[in-house]
Structure 1
């Protein structure tokens, strides 16, 4: 693999890549320096003039994931180096980067991970067909079919693939569909979070960067939304470089690749990843230098702005008026004929899934708060309340619990509108709405915590339940108002993102030759803060803003969208609540429920999504993937809670093995579920041991023992006396049963030898030292949810014994142990219930 990369990316070609990156960054840097000054002007103006949107009713938590991690567990990962699958321990930190380790011990010891995946720009897939469809776009004139992928021979159909148009692809698999769905929710949350990598709190750097990227792409003829606006600024700039570089390299290197189709695609992915890493390293260094240069000029620019703010605003409004007069007629005509007829359709397409998603957020929040009140009432006391509040506090960041909300937004379809308005994909709007859902959920949960904590003093019992109910109602009312405000803002921004690029593409070529003359009207001292291109965009935006505001206002009247009218403005009903919002609450420490923390040892970071493995228990065989909690609740790390369909099964300890018969401990051959382990299994089925059958005397009331029936050796005891009127021969039945058992064990051994040869390229983790041979995983891919199938299987030997007419009634069989067995039993202190070895003398008598 390294040879393929070095062959096609020699020093000369790498220098070409570096030169191309420097050229793009130089062009972008000029635009960025201009937009930085404009963004600083807008920030200072907003600071001086004030204004803004309506005040939020819900509180906002500054650092919700402090001292938290998202998830960790085991997955099988495909290694391209040796084309094999290996078990890896996956750890998702609060940064949502996916780190994979050799095993959990390596992570716990603080060793460096084998690798870290930044999910920005990735797509999480579960279908090989979907993956191959995306893979076909890598090289021109190549088509691959499912099943023709030799480098992905997998022992399971439950795949998890992270796909990126430029970077390396990552392949994982699990053994059950349940695990796949929950890992997919975690991966999608990682992608969602890292794609939203620009902080809105930075009022200068963020708008300067986004405007620079948009204007740079518009100068190249690319209007509309961009799918690769993902991640932090250096990664977005790397995507910007690769947008043109990738196509050039593909046309240059693609025809020179050798081998079969899949091999060529695989080689191209390795080459593309190497190029992307080189470009990313370069853009990171150059962007940091660009920001440092602009930040060094900021004090001087800020002082100039505050001194001349009035003159700058007056000059800008004068020039904007003249530009508006120039473009007004054509812009109005374009708006009436090509835009207005579609505003309602675009808005409806956006509002339907978004309203369902935010309604689902409210439902999930309501259910969780009801569970808190019910459990507190049933369990009683603040200790139970602290335990349940500790769980609900991270509800917004639990990907499985929030999945039902996110899925509602994924139903967004702009089909028919995308081509007209050049919307590359609805994913930009989907992920934005999902991020807003998560923010609103966290705000609501945090507000519920603060209100409840404020009202708990001196409350208990029935009063505590009423306090929770009052806080719940207040939070839901605040959520309804805030979610309405957030959605209306989202709809307005989405409409602008769809419409403005379309109008700019139609209008800018018409006026591009006339706009430069307006630069002559700008004073030189103000030219850094007033740019003609920005004012032209503002004029176009103002021409369509009125129509967008009216459309959203009309939609607010419709009840189906659950929006407040703009005339309804709630004042802050809890003036002291915002003062409390600065203090995070540790429910486990203040009200109990911190037992799980004590059981975590030295683990400092608590997981939002917990593993269902009790502390102190041995790991599951083969490092099986530890389950993400279900939608029913969010268990803590030390809760031994399994899914309802899987019964609890204790591990086999040394004490347990001492209690088992000698034959069971010596046998190392694995057995199929449902098969008896030894002769003890047969005896439990047919129950023949030490039972004496006596004829019933018609004259006597009690049965009479005669010397001719039974001869007892020293140390033997009579277990039961059964009276019958007829005795049937039973030697052959018992012997046949024992022979059936031996044949079944031999067949099991043969089948296991054959099965162990399958998928020999897969590295299997050794079974736990505490696991029983009966629980041995034949294939290496058994899910923990299938461990107890032996309890569901029928007993074939037992059924066969029931079927025949010649079988012996269990009450008519007596087994006499040999002298050697009796002596050994006496030495070991064992009783009649001990089991002889298969090669010991077994005598069956009537």
Structure 2
């Protein structure tokens, strides 16, 4: 009965969402046709130019490691490959991957959190899935998955099966967790950078669908960059007649007086992050120059320059830069209560993506 009830709710949600999507699809398609006819005459220039994407299928990480096979309820040696689509593929063996076999597991890490200790994983699980008994007694929780090695990596996802990996030494754990963190960040935001009218229609339909239910704030399950958040003339008309006056009053009285202090709080960690990126680049370039002066080896110089081009995708070297921005999590706690800003994680992730693009 519960399954049938859920099916009914799902059908009702889709039925309510469909008119919004049909309407926004028509609007987005007309804008697309107009843009094609005018040959992008009105396109705005950007301060930060988006780099052309790397060649599809570029491998960012590959290694043999221990992965917990959920269906078998046991740890298995797997060959894990992560390409620049930021999905995690687990193969039976390296040979299976090289022969083009399908992966045993294909994990899309969007919305996930990467954790490297059992304690942190249990705390996050308890927060989202509290004990229904509500026992106040402090009991030693039995590990959900017994670890065969000392250094685990957990991929926690709110609406998907969690993934567990294990490593014999901390350096391998750190490398994989850094790459996995990149995967989560890009999976959360890269879809929203697509400029197709289908994506634009879907995002705006979601926005109207949620506004119809009185939800005007940010939503952690769908994020976008400035392009997707751009409001067209139809939205302007609706906003003007419904929420313009109270929103204007709220901004003038409750937000505008604090903007300077908010910007100041934001700029500290953000500037530190970009400064760290510049320092990393300077360090790598100086090492290449020093090496060439010592060896005068043209072949080695070309190899080093090739490695420098791949620096933005070196998750371990980039991690200290990203950590500078993570300080926003602590500094902006006051925003959560004052302005109901609950998704600071996504502000941090977008900033980290921009840092990677700059390099």
Q: Deviations over 1:360-408 (max 9, x none)?
A: 1111122222222222232225323211112112111111111111111
TM-score of the aligned structures, taking structure 2 as reference length:
0.84
Q: Distance in 1 between matches of 2:85 and 2:68?
A: 24
Q: Deviations over 1:692-720 (max 9, x none)?
A: xxxxxxxxxxxxxxxxxxxxxxxxxxxxx
User: Does the 8 A contact of 1:76 with 1:174 survive in 2?
Assistant: yes
Aligned to 2:170: 177
User: Does the 8 A contact of 1:197 with 1:230 survive in 2?
Assistant: no
1:92, CA displacement in angstroms? 1.0
1:552-567 mapped onto 2 (5 Å cutoff):
none
Residue aligned with 1:50, SS: coil
Residue aligned with 2:272, SS: helix
**Structure 2 residue 92 is the aligned partner of structure 1 residue 92:** no
Q: Where in structure 2 are there 5+ consecutive unaligned residues?
A: 225-231
Aligned to 1:377: 293
Aligned to 1:52: 44
1:373-772 mapped onto 2 (5 Å cutoff):
373-413=289-329, 414-441=332-359
1:22 aligns with one of 11, 22, 25 = 11
Q: Distance in 2 between matches of 1:40 and 1:15?
A: 36
2:152 aligns with one of 155, 159, 179 = 159
Aligned to 1:345: 261
Aligned to 2:271: 355
Q: Distance in 2 between matches of 1:187 and 1:50?
A: 38
1:158, CA displacement in angstroms? 1.6
**Structure 2 residue 219 is the aligned partner of structure 1 residue 226:** yes
Aligned to 2:161: 168
What is the Cα-based RMSD across aligned positions, in Å? 3.1
**Structure 2 residue 121 is the aligned partner of structure 1 residue 131:** yes
Q: Deviations over 1:672-707 (max 9, x none)?
A: xxxxxxxxxxxxxxxxxxxxxxxxxxxxxxxxxxxx
TM-score of the aligned structures, taking structure 1 as reference length:
0.38
Residue aligned with 1:111, SS: coil
**Structure 2 residue 280 is the aligned partner of structure 1 residue 364:** yes
User: Does the 8 A contact of 1:89 with 1:103 survive in 2?
Assistant: yes
User: Does the 8 A contact of 1:132 with 1:146 survive in 2?
Assistant: no
Q: Distance in 2 between matches of 1:322 and 1:188?
A: 37
Q: Distance in 2 between matches of 1:321 and 1:77?
A: 51
Residue aligned with 1:223, SS: coil
User: Does the 8 A contact of 1:122 with 1:162 survive in 2?
Assistant: yes
Q: Which entry has the higher C-alpha Rg, 1 or 2?
A: 1
1:200, CA displacement in angstroms? 2.7
1:41, CA displacement in angstroms? 5.0
Residue aligned with 1:433, SS: helix
User: Does the 8 A contact of 2:51 with 2:357 survive in 1?
Assistant: no
User: Does the 8 A contact of 1:96 with 1:193 survive in 2?
Assistant: yes
1:35 aligns with one of 20, 24, 36 = 24
1:123, CA displacement in angstroms? 0.9
Q: Distance in 2 between matches of 1:138 and 1:321?
A: 39
C-alpha spacing 1:24/1:124, structure 2 compared with 1 (3 Å): same
1:416, CA displacement in angstroms? 1.6
C-alpha spacing 1:429/1:390, structure 2 compared with 1 (3 Å): same
